[in-house]
A = this chain, B = another copy of it.
Amino acid sequence: MRPESTFDLQSFLPYLLTQAAERSSLEFQQVYRDRYGMLRTEWRVLFHLGLYGTMTAGGIGAAAGTHKTKISRAVHRLAERRYITRNRDGADRRVEHLDLTPRGRAVFNELRGIAADYDEALSNQLSETELKVLRTALRKLAGMQSGRFT
């Protein structure tokens, strides 16, 4: 029989991660929302294109672990605002290649600067080692399944 007193909500990783994620995204989110009316998925698409160059919707979805319908809608809105262009592939006409417009790149550049500042502000709350271990652990958790457990 399982002991009753074992479980601690404040140590439960999914809970702790969600709290930290929500909290740490808050201020930055505020910036791209208030300033550019962007949602989180739109921000992600913008950053993928800005950092990695031309990509397809599917490629971004795979890289960011985001569902294709969310990507589809984000792409639609970004194109509407002329932050990105959509170019049908010649060989496979199901595919579209996405790119930042100059306008999109300008927004990306500004947001990247703010993101870098924000990341630094967060990082300064932790020691060097803490930060290093944290990033490693998060990458492991983000990239893996625990396997069936129920």
Residue numbers of A with Cβ under 8 A of B are: 2, 6-7, 9-25, 27-28, 31, 40, 44, 47-48, 51, 65, 112-119, 121-123, 125-126, 129-131, 133-147, 149-150
One of B9, B16, B145 near A135 (C-beta < 8 A)? B16
Count of identical protomers in the assembly: 2
One of B115, B121, B136, B140 near A12 (C-beta < 8 A)? B115
CA distance A29 to B122 in the complex (A): 28
CA distance A141 to B14 in the complex (A): 14
* A to B CB contacts below 8 Å, 30 in the list: A7-B51, A7-B116, A9-B47, A9-B48, A9-B51, A13-B134, A14-B24, A16-B139, A17-B21, A17-B24, A17-B25, A18-B25, A20-B138, A20-B141, A20-B142, A22-B65, A23-B141, A23-B144, A24-B141, A27-B149, A114-B150, A117-B149, A118-B149, A121-B146, A125-B141, A125-B144, A126-B140, A130-B133, A131-B137, A133-B137
